[in-house]
Amino acid sequence: MTGSQLRPETLAIHAGWRADPSTGSVAVPIHQTTSYQFRDADHASALFALQELGNIYTRIMNPTTDVLENRVAALEGGVAGLALASGQAASAYSIQNLARAGDNVVSSTDLYGGTWNLFANTLKDQGIEVRFVDPTDPEGFRRATDERTRAYYAETLPNPKLEVFPIAEVAAIGRPLGIPLIMDNTAAPMLCRPLDHGAALVVYSATKYLGGHGTSIGGLIIDGGGFDWEAHAERQPLLNTPDPSYHGAVWSQAAKPLGPIAYILRARVVLLRDLGAALSPFNAFQLIQGVETLALRIERHCQNAQRVADFLAARKGVTRVIHPSQQSGPARARADKYLGGRYGGLVGFELDGGVDAGRRFIDALQLFYHVANIGDARSLAIHPASTTHSQLTAAEQAATGVTPGYVRLSIGLEHIDDILDDLDRALTAAGAG
């Protein structure tokens, strides 16, 4: 089923699959195979030469994973997807597919802590400089740009600040310069389609809301197909100069017969081939099960999180509630523009009493799990300053919005009264109200 006219709720269940042609299986089968029998020598040569797209080896592609890739690409309004073993692999490859040693990327400071570490340390060690800028000033991206800038990078709804990124504004700065905006949409599937606002590529940690069940780590890169790589040959050499690792292929040319997929094709047949962060077919299957219920889950996550934000805002001892509904001015305007009036499942808050109160709160929770994840069916809580963000310097923590007493909640799908009862109990134990 192609059906770009279908609505997101329908695409999440149907896109990329109808039934197995040989068995009639309605559920997507788990193709737990490493390899694929070639029809004959000509067929094998055509596949390796990319004259024909087809299955070669599961490190590079797999029929189960293919359904996940096509389904999420359809949901995002993109032309193709690449599933990877984790969200971290997706973030790393999204940059490495455009930038090499000596190049740079301009990124928002408002990032998941793991992405910050990847950018500030590991990519730096590989010779790729990431320049961090304040996302509330889109012009900061232009100012940080030079002739070696290959991409802009940001998160749609970054935690812990939960201030929505100005997607269209920054995309519009990059496009004429030949610089694509890569958006990590992990916290906002179904709420925002960054490609509709001018982003060129979307990155996901599928581990979170796409899966929703907290069983499987996975990541995705979605190619919007609307970025003119060829028109910016000097800016984007990796897609416009002969690739010695692939018989001198120039990706912006070689991909043409297959569609506007130069970026994602190179990511698959060069980066995934060489670096190998392949998603297992079983995890692809699990993530497909999650995506099927994504629309309903997101609706409930948003409703429950809104109730939690209202509850916390009225609670003595809570000095600050971090949720788009509590924002005003430009941040609120961006939340309403890009999330369509629903604000996702994450809520942050700050307790009077700083680190100690935050720790007491975490230890008193009974229903909420104390974990580093977000986007699970279960409600989750964490104290970032002593966990996910503890590797960062105090200045880096401050730049990403983590203060000592900050607690992050990922609100699940339980009955709202049970969620509020648990929060009430833990807040009392922490000395709040």
What are the tokens at 299?
Answer: 């609706």
120 interacts with ligand PLP by CB under 6 A: no
Which of the residues 332 through 361 are near ligand PLP (CB under 6 A)?
Answer: none
| Contact between 219 and 192 (Cβ < 8 Å) | no
CA nearest to 79, candidates 266, 288, 268, 260 = 260
CB of 119 to ligand PLP, least distance (A): 12
Task: Among 65, 104, 207, 379, indicate the residue that binds ligand PLP (CB under 6 A).
Answer: 207
**Looking at beta carbons only, is 15 or 346 nearer to ligand PLP?**
346
Task: Among 104, 108, 186, 240, indicate the residue that binds ligand PLP (CB under 6 A).
Answer: 186
CB of 433 to ligand PLP, least distance (A): 30
Q: What string of DSSP letters covers 3-17?
A: -TTS-HHHHHHHTT-
Task: Among 217, 262, 357, 409, indicate the residue that binds ligand PLP (CB under 6 A).
Answer: 217
Question: Positive or negative, the Cα torsion across 268, 269, 271, 276?
Answer: positive
| Contact between 104 and 244 (Cβ < 8 Å) | no
Taking the C-alpha atoms of residue 205 and residue 218, their distance in angstroms, rounded to an integer, is 6
Give the binding-site size for ligand PLP (rule: CB under 6 A): 16
Q: Tell me the pairing of strands 181-184 and 149-155.
A: parallel
CB of 323 to ligand PLP, least distance (A): 17
What is the DSSP-derived secondary structure letter of residue 102? T
Task: Among 64, 115, 240, 400, indicate the residue that binds ligand PLP (CB under 6 A).
Answer: 115
Taking the C-alpha atoms of residue 337 and residue 290, their distance in angstroms, rounded to an integer, is 27
CB of 90 to ligand PLP, least distance (A): 7
359, exposed or middle or buried, with CB in 10 Å at 0-12, 13-18, 19+? middle
- Binding part of the chain for ligand PLP, among 85-93, 191-199, 286-294, 399-407 by CB under 6 A, reads 85-93
Task: Among 97, 104, 107, 205, indicate the residue that binds ligand PLP (CB under 6 A).
Answer: 205
Q: What string of DSSP letters covers 105-137?
A: EEEES---HHHHHIIIIIHHHTT-EEEEE-TT-
CB of 421 to ligand PLP, least distance (A): 27
277 interacts with ligand PLP by CB under 6 A: no
CA nearest to 103, candidates 199, 253, 231, 234 = 234
Give the N- to C-terminal CA distance of the chain in Å, as an integer.
55
107 interacts with ligand PLP by CB under 6 A: no
185 interacts with ligand PLP by CB under 6 A: no
Binding mask 356-375 for ligand PLP (x = CB under 6 A): ------------------x-
CB of 223 to ligand PLP, least distance (A): 18
The residue number with the shortest CB distance to ligand PLP is 87
CA nearest to 223, candidates 186, 255, 195, 252 = 195
CB of 284 to ligand PLP, least distance (A): 14
CB of 361 to ligand PLP, least distance (A): 21
Strand partners, 347: 409
Q: How many CB atoms lie within 10 A of CB 155?
A: 26
What is the DSSP-derived secondary structure letter of residue 278? P
**Looking at beta carbons only, is 182 or 374 nearer to ligand PLP?**
374
Q: What string of DSSP letters covers 353-408?
A: THHHHHHHHHHH-SSSEE-S--S-SS-EEE-GGGTTTTTS-HHHHHHHT--TTEEE
109 interacts with ligand PLP by CB under 6 A: no
Which of the residues 48 through 77 are near ligand PLP (CB under 6 A)?
Answer: none
Which of the residues 133 through 162 are near ligand PLP (CB under 6 A)?
Answer: 155
- Binding part of the chain for ligand PLP, among 69-77, 87-95, 145-153, 360-368 by CB under 6 A, reads 87-95
CB of 185 to ligand PLP, least distance (A): 9
Task: Among 16, 81, 211, 219, indicate the residue that binds ligand PLP (CB under 6 A).
Answer: 219
Residues binding ligand PLP (CB under 6 A): 86-88, 91, 112, 114-115, 155, 184, 186-187, 205, 207, 217, 219, 374
